[in-house]
Structure formats: structure tokens, C-alpha cells
């Protein structure tokens, strides 16, 4: 039914409507004998909990309200086959992939499915759609891979009962240029992570942007949400990679110049990056790229504790090297990592593992109290050697047990798999979500402890046993980000409410203690209640003023960033 | 008369009203025997040209229109002695230090002197002043060191004949914190470059920001204009250093969070950085700082030509090292540099110089056709060694003659002196101004040639002999900036018109050929005619929308960035 320049859109068609990633792909627990016992123990589960989900046939989706006039107009813009009101497509485009989304999708609670999904193939088509939508007050949700975990792509009309379109960008997936002299690439915003990276690799380059959602997210989505990737400590967050971009709004197109730096007034790029679709649709991006590294290496290192690990990370970053990955888990996450290890297949591997454990214990380290650092090094041979020298020296200084390349490669192989594990946990009646923040080095441990405590208290206050784990996901010279995962047994019938309590307690705690509302997930719908605490009243007014200029009818991705009126959200 | 928390404001009091820097300080030509003959030759001067300037007594400044009510109110806010209507202060605060400014000041053409100069000592005082000014429609020009060369601090009321205040920030000059753990400092925006750097050095750190105006410019001015410094290839432009900032607008204060990175919507920092006072006054900035380098080294290297030099710079930047300074002059600028060399004092030095010249010539290099690269290296011993290894290897590859440390140190010693030379040239009836842009590596040589040609044509078309020189001032992985100096004999009585023609031709050429209107000088009044070409109609609308939100009465630094109505400018 849908054709993207002759081929199927690469994005949502293959994805599960109720969970992460492709249909048929799951997180294998069979050869991880410690996983379920660990889970049952930390959350106080019997192991018999199940949380059933509806089948597609059982979902009763509200009928599309798209009228003939709307559909005829859209078809005249994008072509007959690139508009759909099909149930599955409307369902996949109704929400992102946050915990709250999956809980509702599995139970068939989809209050605002889009009335139609439209697949433009060019900037001109996007402009025509937005112009028409603005005239008719039809709300438009720009949709890339749909992997937002903060409600950034949730179908949400401007007013209750209003018409709503999902604008799927995945047909706009061309690489327009690779400039090997300036080391930049220009691509359409709907291109998926692997497609862009593969084309760059083929020419000898890498973008260096690998969010956990990499396989299913788009360039435009990364830019709209100010994403970070697993190698961003070297390559930067997406906002550092963007040299220039184009955004189509209902009132016209805005383009920044492709120049390395400028002093021609405020930098409007940074107003469009992170705008999450509320101003318009990012259609094209020019990105800085890097020579494909000669060498990549991943290692696991066990630090005595999280605190000394954080100090080591700071020393590394402030020494001037930029290893792409420095992922430091607290003791809870380290023990979870250990519980998820696969059973060694060969006798020799089993013996090696045992020997390693024995050595580790003899030296006073443990996977229960220690802090696992995954370090990823990459660059020329010389750069990798220098990164390694400094990282290992700082770790030795802090007291460390080198787990070697095996632990690092295990993490690297499975680096896009964890969202699949969430579906397994959801099946077993477990609440599991992540949230993240960033702060300065001086404040990092304080913020870490306070947010963890706030989460644990919020979960416990509702009668469940909390398990909160955390890692430092991205490090800078002046600070770092903290990435939390919180788990508990679901409270049946109150799943969303339970989750909201944790979210609320966490966000309030973050803002009271010098963190930021998000380091790389974005604001979406979920964080809007705290945007005023984050940017102040004036800050929100500025964002509103820009929105009014670009989207005077308010049709673009309603409710995101700026929030909706409390009455309309029913809170 | 004026007291800044017990001391004199460090800024404008000591500065010449008619030229650069401190009274009594000048550019010494005595021991540079080749300088004047070279100047006369390139511009076709007789050497007898003089361009007289008025004395302070001869300047007839329009009477201050500040009424008693205004002065009483201002004094009630900042204290009796921190408001002045004194002629010299009004004159110094009437304009910046651009060619157009100095030409007019020397001739007593000062159409819009501020009616009063006010020196606040706290953010609360700034807020009170702006609130009152907004109520009474009094225009306010925020003023740091007053070194803008693009009309960024020109006193310019909202409407002809309107009341106008200069808000001198130099009493707000405290370093509020140096956080050695997070490697940041927080300072008030009115602090002058040397004061901030000295305090950081004392604690073992450096900011790494050294614009040519360093000695006379303020932190707030740097941030307001998106400044770059002579070491920004390593340390970044000022916008890369800002972790967070506070801005007071007539409608309230906006503060960003001091965090290393965030995804909480658009990055409002970058809307305030580069806002040049049109939204409000930057009062406080948190900056990333660096360990004071163990080692610094400057060297001069002569490349065969500008073209091969540009290629070498690109290779250096894309190899991953970040030497702080890579300043590559074209052949015109290289020959000017040679003409400005001091006569060696000792016989041994004279012999060494002669030997060097002989060796250079023997190897086929010349200071007339070659391209001088000043490289500045800094960091730990290891970092400097690595920077040097790569820079020298790339230069050898390109064909280079190593001029050694002498040439580098000569440049480094005189790095803040060139603006003084401008005054000497102005005295001799020479038009001299600079402008700068940036573009990608792919476009760099093309843009270089076209802008140079446009400047030469514009100058020649008015009957003068042009001399245009250029250097690459800042390099990035994806591109670089071009910094032009243009000279010609002044056309008597039409000095400003002559200059405007060159400016117009240059800016149009830059924008037609993929450059940006400014890489680090800013927009000010001078570049406003081309802002729509730079950021588009929508871009200007966005900036206007933000301005209307923060400054609804339009009293903040009128005319800058967004421009004034053509009727009112009389163009």
C-alpha cells in the first residue's frame, strides 16, 4: 500500500505496534541462567506474574475522522498510495516507545490515534501539507522512527476532537551529498540511522552517532530531540554535529547557512535543534563527519565503587583525551550486568570466567559492590593508544580490576538490545523505564544519590519493592550525564499512575538539585510540567513567541515542550 | 567622579576617545624602516598626506537631553556618583572603534551622543534601570569595553530625538566563583579580559579567549558578539565556552542552567549569545576553563603560497589535533608582515636575519609570494609535541620553510598592537578596516578570491589604489574563517562613503558566495542591511519575535542586528 520512492518506507512498517523493534525479534533469556532469579529477587516477584497484551484484532481504534476533502487534498500532494487510514499504521503512529506508551498500547488504550498517516517525499510536499493543515486547523505530528520515550511523537490534537495527521518522514531518506573536503554530509531528515551510517562507511566516513534507538530512529528525530549517542563523548551530541539545517514551518521555510561558525546574531540552529516538531518539520541536515576509525576497541574495567569511578572519569575528560565511550555503572547496574551474562558455551571459557572471578575476589573486587566501566576507544592507532594509556592510568589510580576486552565486546555487541529486554519485563508484569539528566562534576554524586533516593521512595510509597540503577552515560570536561533505570512490580490496574509518581518525584528532585530535565531524551509530553522550572517563565515565553511566529495556528505537534492546558490534559 | 565598588571602572576611562587603547600608547614606527616606504608604495601615497583630528575642546557635542526626573531616578538606583553627563564620557560611549567610528569621532561628527552614562554595580540595578527606561521609552545601549568594530555599541535612539542612555557594565567586574572540580568560572559580565584571565591564571587556569581587543573588552561584550580569540582553534569561540548565563531584559530575567549539556527543548543559551544587547543585558556568565598550559610555543613557517597553506591547515585540523593558533596569511599580508619587521638591534641578529633570508631565497621561498603561517602550540609537553609533529609534517608536505620561533614570538608579542597601527594610518589619511567571514574548506579559496576581487574593484572604482590582504584566522574541521584588511588612500570629504562602498561590495559578495556575514565581529549597525540575506525573512522574524517578548517597548540597543527603518537611517 505504501511506497517510498518505489520502496517501502524503512521505518515503522517492520516495527512491532506493541513493543520495541522488529516483529519476531526478542531478547534471549534462555542462556542467561541468572537473569530471572535475579529479577525475582530484586523485585520480590514470585516469577509467575504475567501481564497479557491484546492482539491487533482486539484493538478497537476510534474510526478515522479524516474527511474526503482532507484525503483528496493529501493524495493530490503526496500521491494516491502515500496516505493511509489503515488501523495498524494509525496505531504505530499513535505513540512512541516509552513505558507509558507500551503499557497503553498493550491494553488498547489509544485515546488519540491519528486520523491519517501521510508520507511526503520532498520538502515541497511537506510545505504543501503544512500549509493546508494550518488553513484547516488540522494538527500535524512529525514522525521519524517513532522511538521517542518521552511522548515526543504522541498523537495529540490541538483541541479535543480535532483532526490529526501523522507526518511520516521515512520516504525522505536520501543522502544528498558527502563532501570529503569539508568532511560534511547533507541528508534528508527521514533517513534511518543504519542507512545513513552505511552510506558514510562506504565512502570511508562515520557520523559517530549511535543512540540506543539507532536501528529505528531517523536523522530528523535525532536533531529534533537533541539526541546523544553511545560514542558522543568523542563525537559530540547531535547538536555538535549539525553544521546547518532546513525546517519547514506552516508559515514558511527557515534555513541556516552551511558554515563552520558565525557571529551573525543569535545562532538560530540551536533554536531549531531540540524543537521537537513544535515549530515545523526538519527536512534536511548538514552534518560534520569523521574518517572511519582505523581501530576500535572496547574494554570492561571494574572500579571499586561508583564514587571513585566518577572521579576517574572526570580526570580522564579533563586530561584532554576523548574516548568515544565511557559508560560507568553504579553497583546496582553492575550487578544487573553480571546477572545478564550468558552462560559460557565452551568448557575453556567457563574455566576462564571462573579464574577471572577468583582473581577478582582475591584482589577485593566484586560484581556486587563494584562499578563497571565500559570504555570504548576509537581513532587512529596512535589516538587509541593515547586514549587507552590515559584511561587505564586513571583507572589504576582509582583502584581497578581490568576485565579485559571480553566484557567490553559483550557490551558492544548487545548495545542496541536492551530495549527488547523491556518488552520481556513488561510481559512479566514489571514496570521498567529510564530517565536521564546531566550536571557538573561537582554536583554529580550529590544529584546521583538524591534522585536515586527519590525514585526508591516514590516506588516504595506505593507498596512495591524498588530497584534503581544508574550509569554515567556521557562525560564532558565540565560534567556528565546520569542515566537511571527504575524497576518495580507493576501495580495492577494503576500501572500508569504508579509510573507517573516515580517520574514526578524524579523530575522534581532533578530540578531542585541542579540537574537538567533531560540530557538527550527530550521534553515531549512527559516533561512539560517541569519546563517552567527548567527554563523559567521567560524561557517558556521565548519558545512560545517563536512558535507563534512559525506556527501561528498552533497545528505543529501540539502539547510538546510547551504543554497543553491542564483542563485538556485532565490533570 | 565615577567609582566602581570603590575603584575606577577599568574600561573606558583610560581609553582614547578618538582611537584605540590607552592615551599615550601608540604603534612605534621608528625602528621599522621599511614600514612607511612600503605603505607609500602599495597605496601610491606621497608620504605627505595628513588627516588632522579635532581636540576634545573643539568637539561640539549636542547638549544632554537628560531631564531632572531621569537623573534623579538613575542616581537613586546606582548612587549619586555613578551617573554622568560629562562630555568626555558621553563621547567615549557614543561609538565603538570601527573605521567609520574613528573617522567620525576625529572630525567631531557625533550625531547621537548618549544623554547620560550610567554605571550599575549589580544585576538588581540593571533590572531597575531597564524597567524604568522601558516605562519612559528611554533607549539603552549596553556598553562593555566599547571595542565593537561593527557599530554594536553605537548610541542610537529608538526614534530620532529620543532619550538615550549608555549602560556601562564595567563596575560589574567580579569573579564570583572558580570551580576547580568542574573546571568552570562564574563572573560578572563587565569584567575586562586581563582581569578575568589574571584571576584564573592565579588559580592555575586559563579561559583561552584572546581576541585582538582582549585588553579593552569585557566578558559580556564577548558573549554578546559571539567573539573568537587568537587561540580559539583549540579553546573554541566564546559560545563554546559558555556553560550558562543570565540576561536581564526590560520584561524580566532569563537564566539558563549550569549544566554540561541538555535536551530540554531548544538551547536558549545560543539565542542570548550573539544577541548584542537587543534583548537585554548579559549580567553573569559561567564559563568552561582549562588548566594553565605547561608549555606554549609560537613558530613562523613560510608556505609556498596561500593555496597550499590552506590545504595544509585543513589536513592539520582534520587529523584531530587542535593547536590553539593557526594563522595563515596570504602573500599580500605576508609582505606587509615583512615590511613591519623591526630593524635588528645587534650585529649578530642582523647577520642571522641576512643568513635566513639568503637560505630562504636559495630554497625558492620569498616573503613577497609566500604565505606566512603563525602556529601557536600549547598544552602539556606531550600535547605540544604532538601538535608540533603534525603541523610540521603537514607543512613539510605542502612545501615549507621553517622561520623558527623568532617569527612566532614576534607575532605573539605584538598580537594586541595592530589596532594602534590603525590610528597611525588614519593620521596619514589612509582608509583601513577589517572584515571577516567563514565558510567550508571546499569553498574557502573560491570565497577568498572573490571577496578580495570585490574589495579591490570597489576601491579602484572610486579612483584609489587598493591594497587588500587576508589571513585564515580560525580553523575548524569543516572549514575556516577569512580575515581581510583593506587599505586605500582616503577620498577627502567622502571618507565614510568610500568605506561604505567597500563594505557593501564585500558583504554582498560574501553572501552570494557561501560565506557568513561575520565569523566573530558581530552584526551591530553595520551589517544589518544584509541580515535578511544571512538568516532569511523567517530568521529575522524569529529574532524580532524574541525581541518583542523580552523588550516590548523596543528600548534595548535600537537598530542593532534587526536594523532600523530606512527612512530613519537616511539611506
Report the distance separating Cα B313 and Cα B448, nearest Å: 15
Report the distance separating Cα A179 and Cα A204, nearest Å: 12
pLDDT at B19: 95
Q: Best interface-test mutation with A: which of B263, B529, B556 has the largest number of A CBs within 10 A?
A: B263
pLDDT tens for B20-76 read 998 889 998 888 999 999 999 999 999 898 888 999 999 999 999 999 999 999 999
pLDDT at A179: 98
Q: If you write DSSP's letter for every residue of A113-148 in order, what string do you get?
A: --SEEE---SHHHHHHHHHHHHHHT-EEEEESS---
Pairwise CB contact (< 8 Å): B261 & A438? yes
Residue B488 φ then ψ, to 5°:
-165, 165
C-beta separation of B85 from B113 below 8 A? no
Tell me the shortest Cα–Cα distance from A501 to chain B, in angstroms: 20
Q: Which residues of B touch A550 (CB under 8 A)?
A: 538, 542
Is beta strand B205-206 parallel, antiparallel or unpaired with respect to B290-291? antiparallel
Q: Which residues of B touch A204 (CB under 8 A)?
A: none
Across the range B210-226, mean pLDDT stands at 97
Tell me the shortest Cα–Cα distance from B318 to chain A, in angstroms: 8
Pairwise CB contact (< 8 Å): B535 & A264? yes
Across the range B213-228, mean pLDDT stands at 97
Q: If you write DSSP's letter for every residue of B514-556 in order, what string do you get?
A: T--S-SSS--TTTTGGGHHHHHHHHHHHHHHHHHHHH-TT--B
The answer, for B519 touching chain A at a CB cutoff of 8 Å, is yes
Query: What DSSP element (H or E) covers B410?
Result: helix B404-413
pTM of the model: 0.96
pLDDT at B213: 96
B421: Cβ–Cβ under 8 A, 6 or more apart, which residues?
B27, B340
Residue B259 has pLDDT above 60, yes or no: yes
The answer, for A227 touching chain B at a CB cutoff of 8 Å, is yes
Q: If you write DSSP's letter for every residue of B160-184 in order, what string do you get?
A: TT--EEEEE-TT---EEEEETTTTE
Distances (CA, A) of B77 to B1, B83, B123, B554: 17, 10, 11, 22
pLDDT at A350: 79
Report the distance separating Cα A154 and Cα A112, nearest Å: 8
Report the distance separating Cα A181 and Cα B382, nearest Å: 29
Tell me the shortest Cα–Cα distance from B227 to chain A, in angstroms: 7
For A518, the closest of B262, B288, B538 (CB atoms) is B262
Report the distance separating Cα B112 and Cα B159, nearest Å: 11
Express as a percent the part of chain B with pLDDT over 90.
86
Q: Which residues of B touch A225 (CB under 8 A)?
A: 263
Identify which has the larger pLDDT, B6 or B197: B197
Tell me the shortest Cα–Cα distance from B253 to chain A, in angstroms: 7
Q: What does the DSSP 8-state code read for residue A529?
A: G
C-beta separation of A544 from A279 below 8 A? no
Q: Which residues of B touch A320 (CB under 8 A)?
A: 379-380, 383
Pairwise CB contact (< 8 Å): B266 & A275? yes
Pairwise CB contact (< 8 Å): B274 & A260? no
The answer, for A121 touching chain B at a CB cutoff of 8 Å, is no
Chain B 456-495, residues with CB within 8 Å of chain A CB atoms: 474, 476-481
Tell me the shortest Cα–Cα distance from B30 to chain A, in angstroms: 37
What residue in B sits closest to A528 (Cα-Cα)?
A: B264
Query: Between vectors from CA A478 to CA A473 and to CA A482, what angle results, nearest 5°?
Result: 25
Q: ipTM value of the model?
A: 0.95
pLDDT at B2: 38
What's the 3-state SS for B469-480? Answer: EEEEEEECCCEE
**Cα B312 to the center of its chain, rounded Å:** 26
Q: Which residues of A touch B263 (CB under 8 A)?
A: 225-228, 237, 274, 516, 518-523
Q: If you write DSSP's letter for every residue of B138-152 in order, what string do you get?
A: -EEEEESS---SSST
What residue in B sits closest to A278 (Cα-Cα)?
A: B265
Tell me the shortest Cα–Cα distance from A301 to chain B, in angstroms: 24
pLDDT at A567: 57
Residue B405 has pLDDT above 50, yes or no: yes
Average pLDDT along chain A, 571 residues, taken 10 residues at a time:
39 79 89 94 93 92 96 97 95 96 95 96 98 97 97 93 96 98 98 98 98 97 98 97 98 98 98 98 98 96 96 96 96 94 82 81 86 96 93 94 91 92 96 98 98 98 98 98 98 95 98 98 97 97 98 97 70 43
Pairwise CB contact (< 8 Å): A254 & B539? yes
Pairwise CB contact (< 8 Å): A478 & B184? yes
Distances (CA, A) of A516 to A328, A438, A511, B258: 19, 6, 6, 9
Report the distance separating Cα A189 and Cα B63, nearest Å: 58
**Cα A376 to the center of its chain, rounded Å:** 20
Report the distance separating Cα B213 and Cα B15, nearest Å: 12
Chain A 295-324, residues with CB within 8 Å of chain B CB atoms: 314, 318, 320
What residue in B sits closest to A382 (Cα-Cα)?
A: B386
Report the distance separating Cα B529 and Cα B174, nearest Å: 37
Query: Between vectors from CA B413 to CA B410 and to CA B417, what angle results, nearest 5°?
Result: 105
Is beta strand A479-489 parallel, antiparallel or unpaired with respect to A175-179? unpaired
Cell of A467: 530497584
Chain B 132-191, residues with CB within 8 Å of chain A CB atoms: 179, 181-184
The answer, for A353 touching chain B at a CB cutoff of 8 Å, is no
pLDDT tens for A115-138 read 999 999 999 999 999 999 999 999
C-beta separation of B316 from B387 below 8 A? no
Tell me the shortest Cα–Cα distance from B284 to chain A, in angstroms: 16
The answer, for A519 touching chain B at a CB cutoff of 8 Å, is yes
Pairwise CB contact (< 8 Å): A440 & B253? no
Tell me the shortest Cα–Cα distance from B536 to chain A, in angstroms: 7
- Count, in order, helices (H) and strands (E) of chain A: 20, 18
Q: What does the DSSP 8-state code read for residue B19?
A: S
Pairwise CB contact (< 8 Å): A474 & B261? yes
Pairwise CB contact (< 8 Å): B259 & A438? yes
The answer, for B242 touching chain A at a CB cutoff of 8 Å, is no
pLDDT tens for B337-387 read 999 988 888 887 777 788 788 888 888 888 888 999 999 999 999 999 999
pLDDT at B4: 35
Query: 10 Å Cβ neighbour count for A366?
Result: 17
Residue A338 φ then ψ, to 5°:
-65, -40
Name the region of A387 (left: φ>0; alpha: ψ -120 to 50; beta: rest): alpha
Is beta strand B116-118 parallel, antiparallel or unpaired with respect to B164-168? parallel
Q: Best interface-test mutation with A: which of B183, B225, B260, B310 has the largest number of A CBs within 10 A?
A: B260
Across the range B312-330, mean pLDDT stands at 96
Confidence tier at B567 by pLDDT (50, 70, 90) = low
Cell of B4: 566602581
CA-nearest of B538, B511, B271, B544 to A253 is B538
Pure H helices in A64-106: 68-78, 87-92, 99-106
Distances (CA, A) of B349 to B25, B343, B406: 27, 9, 11
pLDDT at B568: 54
Amino acid at each position: 500500500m505504501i511506497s517510498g520512492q518505489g520502496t517501502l518506507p524503512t521505518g515503522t512498517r517492520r516495527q512491532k505496534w506493541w513493543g520495541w523493534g522488529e516483529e519476531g525479534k526478542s531478547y534471549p533469556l534462555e542462556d542467561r541462567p541468572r537473569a530471572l532469579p535475579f529479577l525475582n529477587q530484586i523485585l520480590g516477584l514470585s516469577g509467575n506474574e504475567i501481564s497479557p497484551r491484546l492482539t491487533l484484532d482486539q484493538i478497537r481504534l476510534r474510526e478515522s475522522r479524516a474527511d474526503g476533502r482532507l484525503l483528496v487534498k493529501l493524495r493530490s500532494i503526496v500521491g494516491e498510495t502515500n496516505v493511509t487510514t489503515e488501523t495498524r499504521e494509525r496505531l504505530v503512529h499513535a505513540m512512541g516507545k516509552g513505558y507509558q506508551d507500551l503499557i497503553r498500547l498493550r491494553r488498547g488504550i489509544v485515546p488519540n490515534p491519528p486520523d491519517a498517516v501521510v508520507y511526503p517525499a520532498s520538502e515541497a510536499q511537506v510545505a504543501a501539507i503544512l500549509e493546508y493543515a494550518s488553513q484547516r486547523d488540522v494538527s500535524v505530528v512529525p514522525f521519524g522512527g517513532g522511538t521517542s520515550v518521552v511522548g515526543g511523537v504522541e498523537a495529540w490534537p490541538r483541541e479535543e476532537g480535532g483532526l490529526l495527521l501523522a507526518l511520516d518522514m521515512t520516504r525522505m531518506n536520501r543522502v544528498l551529498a558527502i563532501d570529503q573536503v569539508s568532511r560534511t554530509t547533507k541528508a534528508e531528515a527521514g533517513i534511518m540511522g543504519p542507512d545513513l551510517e552505511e552510506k558514510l562507511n562506504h565512502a570511508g566516513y562515520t557520523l559517530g552517532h549511535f543512540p540506543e534507538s539507532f536501528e529505528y530512529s531517523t536523522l530528523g528525530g535525532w536533531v529534533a530531540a537533541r539526541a546523544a549517542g553511545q560514542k558522543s563523548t568523542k563525537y559530540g551530541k547531535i547538536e555538535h554535529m549539525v553544521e546547518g539545517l532546513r525546517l519547514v514551518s506552516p508559515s514558511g521555510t527557515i534555513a541556516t547557512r552551511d558554515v563552520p561558525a558565525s557571529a551573525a546574531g543569535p545562532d538560530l540552529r540551536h533554536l531549531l535543534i531540540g524543537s521537537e516538531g513544535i515549530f515545523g518539520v526538519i527536512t534536511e541536515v548538514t552534518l560534520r563527519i569523521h574518517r572511519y576509525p582505523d581501530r576500535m576497541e572496547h574494554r570492561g574495567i571494574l572500579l571499586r565503587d561508583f564514587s571513585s569511578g566518577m572521579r576517574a572519569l572526570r580526570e580522564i575528560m579533563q586530561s584532554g583525551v576523548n574516548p568515544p565511550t565511557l559508560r560507568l555503572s553504579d553497583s546496582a547496574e553492575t550487578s544487573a550486568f553480571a546477572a545478564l551474562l550468558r552462560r559460557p558455551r565452551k568448557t575453556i571459557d567457563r574455566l576462564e570466567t571462573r579464574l577471572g572471578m577468583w582473581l577478582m575476589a582475591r584482589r577485593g573486587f566484586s560484581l556486587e559492590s563494584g562499578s563497571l566501566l565500559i570504555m570504548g576507544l576509537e581513532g587512529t592507532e596512535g589516538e587509541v593508544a593515547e586514549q587507552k594509556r590515559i584511561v587505564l592510568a586513571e583507572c589504576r589510580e582509582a583502584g581497578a580490576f581490568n576485565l579485559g576486552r571480553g566484557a567490553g565486546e559483550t557490551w558492544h555487541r548487545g548495545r542496541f538490545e536492551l530495549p527488547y529486554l523491556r518488552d520481556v519485563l513488561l510481559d512479566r508484569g514489571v514496570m521498567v523505564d529510564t530517565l536521564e539528566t546531566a550536571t557538573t562534576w561537582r554536583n554529580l554524586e550529590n544529584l546521583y544519590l538524591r534522585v536515586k533516593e527519590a525514585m526508591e521512595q516514590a516506588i516504595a510509597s506505593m507498596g512495591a519493592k524498588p530497584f534503581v540503577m544508574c550509569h554515567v552515560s556521557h562525560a564532558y570536561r565540565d560534567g556528565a550525564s546520569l542515566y537511571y533505570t527504575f524497576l518495580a512490580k507493576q501495580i495492577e490496574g494503576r500501572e500508569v499512575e504508579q509510573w507517573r509518581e516515580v517520574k514526578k518525584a524524579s523530575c522534581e528532585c532533578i530540578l531542585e538539585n541542579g540537574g537538567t530535565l533531560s540530557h538527550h531524551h527530550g521534553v515531549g509530553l512527559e516533561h512539560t510540567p517541569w519546563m517552567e522550572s527548567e527554563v523559567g517563565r521567560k524561557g517558556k515565553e521565548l519558545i512560545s513567541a517563536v512558535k507563534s511566529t512559525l506556527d501561528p495556528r498552533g497545528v505543529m505537534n501540539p502539547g510538546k515542550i510547551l504543554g497543553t492546558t491542564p483542563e485538556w490534559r485532565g490533570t
